[in-house]
C-alpha cells in the first residue's frame, strides 16, 4: 500500500480536532463503499463527533437497515435576512405571494430602511472535515461550493488508479480489492478506537467486493480481514448482542483462510 507513513498520524490528529464531519461517497455507492462509510460513522460518532453520511442515489437493499444514518444530499442552508430592527423602528414583518414570487415585507414605523444596511446570507452547519470514499475527483462532490471545499480538510480514500489525489490527506491504493480493506488498514495504523460489532461492517464490505474471498488480487485483503476478525473476537460479544451485520458474516471461518501479517509501507 503506497501511503506515506506520516499520513496515519496526521489522520488521527485531524480527526481529534474535527467536530463536524461529512463522509461522502460516490453516487449509487455499492455495498463496499457504504459499509465502510457506516463503519466510520459509528466509530467517529462514538468519539463525540457530529457525523453525516452523504450518499446520492440508491442504497443497496442489504443496507436498508442503516438508512437512517444516510442522507441523500448535503443539508440545505437557511436564507437569513438581517437588519437592525431597533434602529429602523420596525412595526411589522409579513410576507405575501405574487405569482411564483415570495415577497418578504418589512414595515418601518417612520423612515425608509437603507437597503445597504440589510444583510442577506445563508446559515447552517459546515463540515470542518470531509472524508471521501470512492470519489475520484472534486467534481463528483455535490452540494458543496468550490470555495467551501477549498477551505476544508479533505481525507481522500479510494482504490482507483484514476483518482486525482485531491485530498489534504490521500489514502489511495490502486491495487486494493475494496474500500473496506483500505479503511481497515487505515483504522489500525491510525489507532482508531473501534466500537463493538462495527468491524463486521468492514468484513461485509470486503466479502462483497471479493465475492466472499473468491476474487482476491491483493494480499492486504486478507490482512484487513484478519484485523476485523481479531477485533470481533476481542469484543467477546454475547449471542444476543450480535449486530445484524455480524450475524451475516459468521459463516466464514477466516482463521482457515489466512494468517495475519504486519502491513508494511
Average pLDDT in the 144-152 region?
A: 83
Q: What are phi and psi of 144, to 5 degrees?
A: -125, 130
CA–CA separation, 201 and 197 (whole Å): 8
* pTM of structure: 0.77
Has residue 17 got a pLDDT over 50? Answer: yes
Residue 145: pLDDT band with limits 50, 70, 90: confident
**Tens digits of residue pLDDT in 197-221:** 899 999 999 999 999 999 999 999 9
- C-alpha grid cell, residue 191: 489507532
Residue 262: pLDDT band with limits 50, 70, 90: very low
In the structure, what pLDDT confidence band is assigned to residue 5 with cuts at 50, 70 and 90?
A: low
pLDDT exceeds cutoff 80 at 183: yes
Name the nearest CA neighbour of 195 among 27, 90, 49.
49
Report the 10 Å Cβ neighbour count for 220.
21
How confident is the model over 56-113, as pLDDT tens digits?
A: 999 999 998 899 899 988 777 788 888 888 888 888 889 999 899 998 888 888 888 8
Radius of gyration of the chain measured on its C-alpha atoms:
23
Cite the beta strand spans of the chain per DSSP E.
Answer: 20-25, 50-54, 70-71, 78-82, 90-98, 101-108, 119-123, 129-133, 153-158, 169-172
| Domains within the chain, CATH numbers bracketed | 6-76+125-256 (3.90.1640.10), 78-123 (no CATH)
Per-residue pLDDT at 3: 56
> What's the rounded Cα separation, in Å, for the pair 133 and 157?
5
For residue 169 the three cell numbers come to: 490527506
pLDDT of residue 113: 85
Question: What pLDDT does residue 41 have?
Answer: 97
For residues 51 and 41, is the Cβ–Cβ distance under 8 A? yes
The beta strand positions in 88-214, using DSSP E, are 90-98, 101-108, 119-123, 129-133, 153-158, 169-172
φ, ψ of residue 218 to 5 degrees: the values are -120, 130
Q: What is the pLDDT of residue 247?
A: 47
Average pLDDT over residues 121-142: 89
**How far is residue 69 from each of residues 40, 82, 158, measured CA to CA in Å?**
11, 33, 21
Q: What is the pLDDT of residue 226?
A: 95
pLDDT the model gives residue 251: 46
Amino acid at each position: 500500500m503506497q501511503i506515506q507513513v506520516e499520513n496515519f498520524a496526521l489522520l488521527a490528529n485531524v480527526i481529534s480536532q474535527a467536530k463536524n464531519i461529512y463522509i461522502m461517497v460516490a453516487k449509487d455507492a455499492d455495498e463496499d463503499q457504504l459499509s465502510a462509510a457506516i463503519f466510520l460513522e459509528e466509530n467517529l460518532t462514538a468519539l463525540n463527533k457530529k457525523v453525516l453520511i452523504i450518499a446520492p442515489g440508491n442504497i443497496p437493499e442489504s443496507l436498508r437497515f442503516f438508512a437512517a444514518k444516510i442522507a441523500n444530499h448535503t443539508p440545505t442552508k437557511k436564507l437569513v435576512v438581517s437588519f437592525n430592527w431597533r434602529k429602523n423602528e420596525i412595526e411589522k414583518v409579513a410576507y405575501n405571494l405574487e405569482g411564483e414570487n415570495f415577497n418578504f415585507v418589512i414595515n418601518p414605523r417612520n423612515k425608509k430602511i437603507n437597503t445597504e444596511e440589510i444583510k442577506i446570507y445563508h446559515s447552517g452547519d459546515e463540515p470542518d472535515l470531509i472524508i471521501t470514499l470512492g470519489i475520484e475527483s472534486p467534481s463528483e462532490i455535490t452540494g458543496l461550493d468550490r470555495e467551501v471545499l477549498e477551505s476544508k480538510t479533505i481525507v481522500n480514500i479510494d482504490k482507483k488508479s484514476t483518482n486525482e489525489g485531491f485530498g489534504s490527506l490521500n489514502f489511495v491504493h490502486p491495487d486494493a480489492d475494496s474500500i473496506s480493506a483500505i479503511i481497515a488498514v487505515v483504522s489500525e495504523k491510525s489507532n482508531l478506537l473501534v466500537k463493538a460489532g462495527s468491524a463486521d461492517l468492514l468484513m461485509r464490505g470486503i466479502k462483497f467486493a471479493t465475492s466472499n474471498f473468491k476474487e482476491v488480487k491483493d494480499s492486504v485483503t486478507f490482512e484487513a480481514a484478519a484485523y476485523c476478525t481479531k477485533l470481533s473476537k476481542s469484543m467477546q460479544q454475547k449471542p444476543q448482542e450480535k449486530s445484524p451485520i455480524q450475524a451475516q458474516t459468521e459463516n466464514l471461518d477466516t482463521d482457515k483462510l489466512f494468517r495475519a501479517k504486519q502491513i508494511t509501507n
